């Protein structure tokens, strides 16, 4: 475990906490894309199939349980919570899941390291995670007033991906045979999707104005 | 351990 990896995981954890804070405390999911949250739940469900077959560390297992539990409970909150569900921007959150899921599944079936169920699912989760933020970014673009917590949530998620790239660079130079093309390319694509958001996030922060993405 | 290296990530 290096500092970039730890910082990345903590940023990821922070993003989830910020989102849960918004949903649980303010009882609002305004500006949060249910589509993205459902895709993340699917990402973790398909990636962490090894939680029952391989033991890596207590840290690893606990974090996996946190990400699985939080992603499914966020989806539950938005769909079923009596108060929270009323704040969901259903008419704005129109991105169609299958446009992302089907190409990712096809790609995972053809481009993978090993053709086993677990490995193809793991690869599918990497491809899907890379694009899962898209419905959220589209929703942000349609939302005129992005509240602070939603902006911070997306910023923390983007920071987590950026830190993972530094983690891979570090591991490449410190560990023998650490070459993972699929993980790296999917991770870089994922981080690049945040570039535009980061630009406007820092602009709004610098000028001390409310975050707004141009349509 | 080439295969398991990145599987320890989240």
- Give the model confidence (pLDDT) of A4-54 as tens digits: 999 999 999 999 999 999 999 999 999 999 999 999 999 999 999 999 999
CA distance A193 to chain B (A): 19
Compare CB distances from B5 to A5, A122, A180 and report the shortest one's residue.
A180
- Which whole-number Å values give the CA distances from A119 to A71, A109, A112, A123, in the listed order? 22, 10, 7, 6
In the stretch 1-10 of chain B, residues with CB closer than 8 A to chain A read 1-10
Helices (H) and strands (E) in chain B, counts: 0, 0
Kindly give, in sequence order, each residue whose CB lies less than 8 Å from that of residue A94, ignoring residues fewer than 6 positions away. none
Query: How much is the CA Rg of chain B, to the nearest whole Å?
Result: 6
Quickly state the pLDDT bin for B4 (edges 50, 70, 90): low
Answer yes or no: are the C-beta atoms of A187 and A168 closer than 8 Å.
Answer: yes
Determine the pLDDT at residue A103. 98
DSSP 8-state class, residue A35: H
Going by C-alpha positions, the residue among B1, B7, B9, B5 that lies closest to residue A165 is B9
Q: Where is A215: in which H helix or E strand?
A: none
The answer to whether A113 contacts B8, with C-beta atoms less than 8 Å apart, is: no
Residue A61 to residue A65: CA distance in whole angstroms = 6
Determine the pLDDT at residue A23. 96
Across A13-128, the runs of DSSP E, i.e. the strands, are none
Kindly give, in sequence order, each residue whose CB lies less than 8 Å from that of residue A121, ignoring residues fewer than 6 positions away. A46, A47, A49, A108
Compare CB distances from B7 to A5, A50, A175 and report the shortest one's residue.
A50
Write the Ramachandran bin of A30: left for phi over 0, alpha for psi from -120 to 50, otherwise beta. beta
> Residue range A75-82: average pLDDT?
97
Across chain A, the runs of DSSP E, i.e. the strands, are none
Flag whether pLDDT at B3 surpasses 50.
no
The answer to whether A63 contacts B5, with C-beta atoms less than 8 Å apart, is: no
Q: Which residue from B minimizes the CA distance to A8?
A: B10
The answer to whether A122 contacts B7, with C-beta atoms less than 8 Å apart, is: yes
Residue A34 to residue A50: CA distance in whole angstroms = 26
Quickly state the pLDDT bin for A144 (edges 50, 70, 90): confident
- Which whole-number Å values give the CA distances from A112 to A88, A128, A154, A208, in the listed order? 37, 14, 29, 45
Quickly state the pLDDT bin for A214 (edges 50, 70, 90): confident
Flag whether pLDDT at B2 surpasses 70.
no
CA distance A125 to chain B (A): 11
Answer yes or no: are the C-beta atoms of A32 and A135 closer than 8 Å.
Answer: no
CA-CA-CA-CA torsion sign (A19, A154, A43, A61)? negative
Residue A104 to residue A124: CA distance in whole angstroms = 6
The answer to whether A64 contacts B9, with C-beta atoms less than 8 Å apart, is: no
Determine the pLDDT at residue A178. 86
Q: Tell me what the pLDDT averaged over chain A comes to.
A: 95
Interface probe for B, chosen from A178, A182, A184, A185 (most Cβ of B below 10 Å), is: A178
Compare CB distances from A56 to B2, B3, B8 and report the shortest one's residue.
B8
């Amino acid at each position: 475990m290096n500092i970039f990896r730890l910082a990345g995981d903590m940023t990821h954890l922070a993003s989830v906490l910020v989102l849960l804070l918004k949903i649980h405390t303010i009882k609002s999911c305004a500006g949060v894309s249910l589509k993205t949250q459902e895709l993340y739940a699917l990402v973790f469900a398909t990636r962490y199939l090894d939680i029952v077959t391989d033991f890596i560390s207590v840290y690893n297992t606990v974090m996996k349980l946190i990400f699985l539990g939080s992603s499914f409970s966020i989806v539950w909150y938005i769909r079923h919570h009596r108060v929270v569900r009323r704040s969901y921007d259903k008419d704005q959150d129109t991105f169609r899941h299958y446009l992302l899921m089907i190409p990712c599944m096809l790609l995972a079936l053809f481009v993978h390291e090993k053709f086993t169920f677990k490995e193809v699912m793991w690869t599918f989760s990497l491809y899907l995670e890379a694009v899962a933020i898209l419905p959220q970014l589209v929703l942000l673009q349609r939302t005129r007033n992005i509240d602070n917590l939603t902006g911070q949530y997306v910023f923390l998620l983007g920071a987590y991906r950026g830190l993972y790239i530094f983690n891979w660079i570090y591991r490449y130079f410190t560990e023998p045979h650490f070459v993972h093309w699929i993980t790296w390319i999917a991770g870089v694509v994922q981080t690049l999707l945040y570039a535009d958001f980061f630009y406007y996030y820092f602009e709004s922060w610098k000028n001390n104005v409310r975050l707004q993405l141009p349509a | 351990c080439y295969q398991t290296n990145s599987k320890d990530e989240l």
